[in-house]
Chains A and B, each alone.
Chain A
């Protein structure tokens, strides 16, 4: 028996996560994303689904689809796959993902159709149609997809509703992590999973070589910068993505505001962000422990100091903090505000995350000398603070998870090629676990566990119930390696329980395998000897 892993996307790459795993005859597609960097090329944008089934009969080829979270590089191609390619089977995702997915898909569709002027591949109604096929699951709820296939979701942090998925067919077990975070942030908890006997772990590796500092240090710098700015009467602009980051930073600020008794107003710009707050408020059980604990007293997403921002307030005097979309300051409201505020050295722009491409965000972070922007004709004098917050785990987190789960094989996806190779070697050398980093459209075969059912004799069962341990003296290996403590000559006391070791597997011709107690076997052998 083997587990076959076909990587359709995010192999040695970030973008369009899509992995098809075949275990004991069941085929599961984990994630179905698009590559947002290739908006102009549909062939690059979607995973190559024909590799699953050359005759495009996806319904018989796949047992189910599992979506880990609502980011476009994990869910973007779902509507295309169901509505255009015609997949009709079950789709599993967590409740929050199901709630937020339509919004994301619709946004994406609009961008493609309206902005890029592309031909419409599917309509808004078709997205709704696609969502009807989705079965929502809860954390740690074991779902029997069919007679043999079991799946279970575990908390993954990262974004609200993100989950790692465990799948089991027969005796073969595996986990697909999706994106996860091993350290909690202000609104989400850390990934949480049981210790399982896994044959395969497929993990993301966005930060395959980075080790991040303490979260506290990042928060402190951010708060210090913001506090300094507002206390000297400046305005703070935080261009941010609507879901997740805005809430996290806002909780951080709220908490600080409460403790320091600050009265400076905090604003949220557009309706989308307010709506996202509503979602977070409802999905409280998917947030971090602290927010859950305090929920009975106060919903952390009920921001006391947050008000809605009106366009007329842009030039109003006095300090304030504003969250505005989009995060790249490429267009829209954040750019509009930026144009007004960037001219004063009192003000601060706080940029969460990193940017690629020709956007204002990129210019600000990459080259701080370029204070005069030629395209937009803005005299940029404001302070710039860059936040190093990321919802992905760092390389230490990946190592810790792999170490905790100790699977037999690891496959790395969702990362940069050379960094993944480094991590692959590290996992192999430090943890002694076989590790792979396949490229897109590559297939990996790994052996899987298969248990043989055997009957047991009563004597053996009885002996298993009775504890039967012995103490032995033998030298241990790890002590021998040490040169300084020469204890290799001194035997070490160890305890052994002989119960199971006393069983003997007997396979008679044409009969089912059977486990006998060793005494029984001797008896039986004695009998056969007499017979002959």
Chain B
């Protein structure tokens, strides 16, 4: 409101009136009629203030719709744009208006229009491109950047221009702007060069290589830009290239400009001439990127190498050397990305390991980071090893891995099984030694390392297991394998389960065709070409599939979580237990409906206790399942409590309205928690949970809640839409309750005037509780927050007026990288400050991320001491109710992931 008070100019509406209007507009419970009459008054007198108010109004009342805001033609472009910016949903701006706003003298307005043209409102492409291209010449760097952004955005939205001349002009202009003084213009120019360059390349098939090479060179020339973001963008751009000449690719790996191009006449004269022109800008770009100071850049290079190595085998071979060196990088993220890239290369057959690479490559197997070791093994699972020596050293290093990290056993075994399957011939070459070692160990002559023996067994039996042809493997090996069954079956979990493996092993061990004495190895068969060696041979699975009955449940793909595999039995038990408990409420529903709530509540509490006991007695194995069960039980408990009081007979007695309201609020929170704090729901699970939410809202409606009715209806309809879309995708049948609710909703208009509460009441009759079936996918999203060395005795010092850093140690569980996390810091006086936690900045996996984050807190008031309440919240799918958090805070409601922590601060004097 401050901006209105400091103005003293003459105007038809007094400031006082405007203030009152503003309060009306912002108050959520102002009736729609009042709002629209205020808006009408305001639009009649377009001044600076009224426009400002209109933009506020549009921001706070999305239901107002843009139609209400009439844009006076003579208003200042800046404000008009602001009004537009806040009210846009599906606005139609005619081309003339767009042009006039762009050409107006407000630079901010121009920037906004350029940035949002085409995305937030439609403009004729011809006009749009002309305007955007024109403004790349603007003297203001931000306008240039916005125009370029607009061009890049046009491409991203799938826009295409048939006018080759125009495309080329845009591309050339962007190339010029790569040397702009301003980093933000350079950044956007890089994006345009990448996207429009590719458009240009694809517009003419004859010139495709020429233009692609040009784009490659231009992007490479930005590898030495002084701005980190520009560099990242340039390397990101390389990812999109589909074709680049080999000599240019190779040049990017060498800082010295070579004469490659001249020698390779075969590629055509045009290429070599172009090479000479472009070579200097390309020289060493990839190498520079890989040794960049910022891990963002290094990571981006590793990622683009994934596509670039696909373009040329020669380049892939050379790039591998550089990539191997990255395994010494200080940043885990970069090392991991390098390995991921190698994995991709291996899949596309571009990974050729050499002796000189081995030191680095196997070094990753001793890395103290699990992800690194895992990814390294992932490569070993698919890579084709060229000679026996490589194969042997792989086995040695894997066994070494097993020694130093026993916790990796499951994954190492799995790697052995793949290695065996992929290198059948090599296995048969070493089978004699292996057999002797296993034999000796199991005969008891030697003290043996059981993990090692198990690993060797897996290696030996993995190939013949898939084939009718047992090869030279002695049958007794299969019998030995049976004795290790419990330990080794996980290694084959991608192709068969435990029972099928047992059946298979038994059958193979019975075959007497080959015995130990039959091993006749051709010694000296060292360099065995891998021509006939089969890659992961899934085709042959069918043989087994036909033999073993329908026990095979899992897909032939990697089972993601090995830890869970390891704790299988314990985990199975938990799942059984969970499903047993989860089946109960379903059975109880009848009792609740018939008014025996007390009895049900009692047994629910018992169940809860049971679950809690189980929870405490168990390790981490089934924690997620139990956490879910506990919360679900709590929801059912609350539901039955509420339900009881809504039964017709009891409706008017027992609980006061306030109490019921309280219970409903609690129920709502718990159900929301159920939705937000767990991931990995199947479609059916999600439907069940969403149905509970719908029920909660419907209950609210019935409980004649006049005040927030509009709100509730709106939420109901939003949620309903979501349910509908899930139903459509999963092709499941909607429950009766959902069908009924749909009918009610379609007959209810938003303003609620015609809403019939009784209809909601009626729909409740159709609700019945679904049974939950837990099948292991559901994960508990949670966070741990700790502020060390801080309590009442040891407060953090602060200087009032200056920001204070709160060192938070944070552990996140099961948080996907897309989710938006916030740190909420609250003071006792109700002041709340939200801080966005950018997950990209922290290293870690999806399961667990652990990091320290120094949260700045700015509002250090004039007080001796302060108590700050900190906690971590996750933005969930429910829209925010209070408009206050619009300013920099989360857009949606926060689901709190941990308990609130108190942080104690005390003031120190500045001297």
Contact = CB atoms under 8 A, between A and B. Distances in A.
Interface stretch (A29-37, A90-98, A478-486): A478-486
Given A466-B103, A467-B134, A497-B138, A214 B287 contact: yes
Contacts of A216: 290-291, 322, 325-326, 328-329
Contact of A297 (B135, B325, B852): B852
A211 B841 CA distance: 34
Given A396-B255, A494-B169, A190 B133 contact: no
Contact of B169 (A197, A220, A492): A492
A500 B284 CA distance: 40
Interface residues on A, range: 35 or more
Nearest to B326: A216
A177 to B, nearest CB: 13
A18 B853 CA distance: 45
A213 B181 CA distance: 30
Interface in A349-395: 394
Interface in A473-523: 476, 482-485, 492-497, 499-500
A258 B852 contact: no
B225 A404 contact: yes
B326 to A, nearest CB: 7
Nearest to A192: B226
B166 interface: yes
B288 interface: yes
Contacts of A466: 103, 105
A413 interface: no
Nearest to A256: B328
Contacts of B853: 296
Interface of A: 182-184, 186, 189-190, 192-195, 197, 211-217, 219-220, 223-224, 251, 255-256, 258-261, 288-290, 296-297, 394, 396, 400, 403-404, 406, 430, 462, 464-467, 469, 471, 476, 482-485, 492-497, 499-500
Contacts of A290: 293, 295, 330-331
Interface in B836-856: 851-854
B662 interface: no
B169 A261 contact: no
Which of A197, A289, A483 gathers most chain B CB within 10 Å? A289
A471 B170 CA distance: 12
A484 B269 contact: yes
B704 interface: no
B279 to A, nearest CB: 11
Contacts of A484: 269-270, 273-274
Contacts of A190: 292-293
A223 B172 contact: no
Contacts of A462: 105
B360 interface: yes
Nearest to B167: A493
Contacts of B851: 297
A469 B135 contact: yes
Interface string B264-300: 0000011001100000100110011011111100000
Contacts of B274: 482, 484
Nearest to A184: B293
Contacts of A396: 255, 283-284
Nearest to B107: A465
Contacts of A260: 363, 366-368
* Nearest 4 pairs of A and B residues by beta carbon: A216-B325, A184-B293, A493-B169, A497-B137
A168 to B, nearest CB: 15
A308 B165 CA distance: 70
Contacts of B270: 484-485
B255 A492 contact: no
B139 A485 contact: no
Contacts of A483: 273
Nearest to B369: A259
A195 B182 CA distance: 8
A186 B330 CA distance: 8
Given A220-B360, A256-B328, A469-B135, A194 B172 contact: no
B56 interface: no
B130 interface: yes
A197 B326 CA distance: 37
A255 B366 CA distance: 13
A500 B137 CA distance: 11
Given A261-B404, A297-B852, A484-B273, A194 B226 contact: yes
Contacts, number: 136
Contacts of A215: 291
A5 to B, nearest CB: 25
Contacts of A220: 325, 328, 360
Q: In the complex, which range does the number of interface residues on chain B fall in?
A: 35 or more
A275 to B, nearest CB: 25
Given A260-B366, A492-B172, 18 more contacts: A183-B288, A192-B226, A195-B179, A195-B180, A216-B326, A219-B325, A256-B328, A259-B367, A289-B293, A290-B331, A465-B105, A466-B105, A467-B135, A469-B134, A476-B172, A494-B169, A494-B172, A500-B139
Given A220-B328, A261-B368, A495-B134, A195 B181 contact: yes
Nearest to B135: A467
Interface of B: 102-103, 105, 110, 130, 133-139, 165-166, 168-169, 172-173, 179-181, 207, 210, 224-226, 255-256, 269-270, 273-274, 280, 283-284, 287-288, 290-295, 322, 325-326, 328-331, 359-360, 363, 366-369, 404, 807, 851-854
Contacts of B330: 186, 251, 255, 290
Contact of B291 (A214, A496, A499): A214
Contact of B359 (A224, A255, A430, A482): A224
Contact of B807 (A289, A296, A497): A296
22 contacts: A182-B224, A192-B226, A214-B325, A251-B330, A259-B366, A289-B295, A296-B807, A296-B852, A296-B853, A297-B852, A394-B255, A403-B224, A406-B179, A465-B105, A467-B102, A467-B103, A482-B273, A482-B274, A484-B270, A492-B172, A495-B134, A495-B169
A216 B325 CA distance: 6
A189 B291 CA distance: 11
Contact of A404 (B110, B133, B224, B255): B224
B144 to A, nearest CB: 10
A465 to B, nearest CB: 4
B236 to A, nearest CB: 19
A211 B255 contact: yes
Nearest to B104: A466
A211 B169 contact: no
A391 B359 CA distance: 27
B226 A404 contact: yes
A396 B328 CA distance: 24
Contacts of B224: 182, 400, 403-404
B366 A261 contact: yes
Nearest to A464: B139
B168 A493 contact: yes
A480 to B, nearest CB: 13
A258 B130 CA distance: 57
B230 to A, nearest CB: 11
A495 B284 contact: no
B609 to A, nearest CB: 41
Contacts of A217: 325
A243 to B, nearest CB: 20
Contacts of A403: 224
Nearest to B367: A259
Nearest to B103: A467
Contacts of A288: 293
A520 B294 CA distance: 53
A521 to B, nearest CB: 21
A215 B172 CA distance: 35
A211 B360 CA distance: 25
A85 to B, nearest CB: 38
Contacts of B294: 289
A295 B255 CA distance: 33
A403 to B, nearest CB: 8
Nearest to A154: B226
